[in-house]
Structure 1
């Protein structure tokens, strides 16, 4: 039997502490497509899947967004 474990959502303060990056660097990297994008979790709040941050930490230079997400972003900007 396989159990699926939901990735918890972490907020910016946790992402800053885990990555050692500054807030502005995180948002610049999101815009460049070299860091996981945040999720809207409420009207005024956002966060990241902890598993996405873990993947980035494991390979920051090689991390790229999943192909499907990249395609959706391109389509939304067209």
Structure 2
């Protein structure tokens, strides 16, 4: 079952600051969160994990480790 993560948990999981992630969202480089009826924003954990996998696979140093 999917979990909804607040920005603080997303930042910890990804290893970037919240401000860096918000900048990436504005530029279309990170998935936007889902607005809740209560006014908050949350990210689906599987979408964050998928982004991490794609980012790792695209990193040149990751390709060297996988070879």
Aligned to 2:17: 22
Tell me, yes or no, if structure 1 residue 39 matches structure 2 residue 21. Answer: no
Give the 3-state SS of the residue equivalent to 1:29 in structure 2: helix
TM-score by length of 1: 0.64
Which structure shows the bigger proportion of residues in helix conformation?
Answer: 2
Of 7, 10, 24, the match for 1:12: 7
Distance 1:31 1:15 in 2: 16
- Unaligned runs of 5+ residues in structure 1 are 1-5, 64-78
Kindly report the root-mean-square deviation, in angstroms, between the aligned alpha carbons of the 2 structures.
Answer: 1.9
User: How far did residue 43 of structure 1 move?
Assistant: 2.7
Unpaired runs of at least 5, structure 2: 59-67
Matched residue pairs, number? 58
Q: Distance in 2 between matches of 1:60 and 1:14?
A: 18
